[in-house]
Amino acid sequence: MPDMRELLRSLQSLPGPYQPFDPAQAPGQPEPLFAQWLQAAIDAGIREPHAMTLSTVDADGCPDARVLILKNVDDHGWHFAISRASPKGRQITASPQVALTFYWPALGRQVRIRGTAHDMGAAAQATDFLARPLGSRAGALLGRQSDVLAAQQELEDGLARQLQRLDAAPDLVPPTWAVYAVRPRVIEFWQGNEQRRHVRLSYRREEGSAWAMERLWP
Active site residue 47: no
Rounded alpha-carbon distances, angstroms, from residue 85 to 15, 91, 155? 42, 10, 18
CB 71 within 8 A of CB 79: yes
Alpha-carbon distance of 83 to 134, in angstroms, equals 16
The answer to whether 131 touches 69, Cβ cutoff 8 Å, is: no
H/E stretch holding 77 reads: strand 77-83
∠ at Cα 58 (65, 206), nearest 5°?
Answer: 75
8 Å CB contact between 108 and 196: no
| Residue at 44: amino acid letter | A
CA 39 from chain centre, in angstroms, equals 16
The catalytically annotated residue of 5, 9, 47, 196 is 196
Beta bridge partners of 118: 181
CB 179 within 8 A of CB 124: yes
User: What phi, psi does 47 have (nearest 5°)?
Assistant: -70, 140
Task: Name the residues annotated as catalytic.
Answer: 196
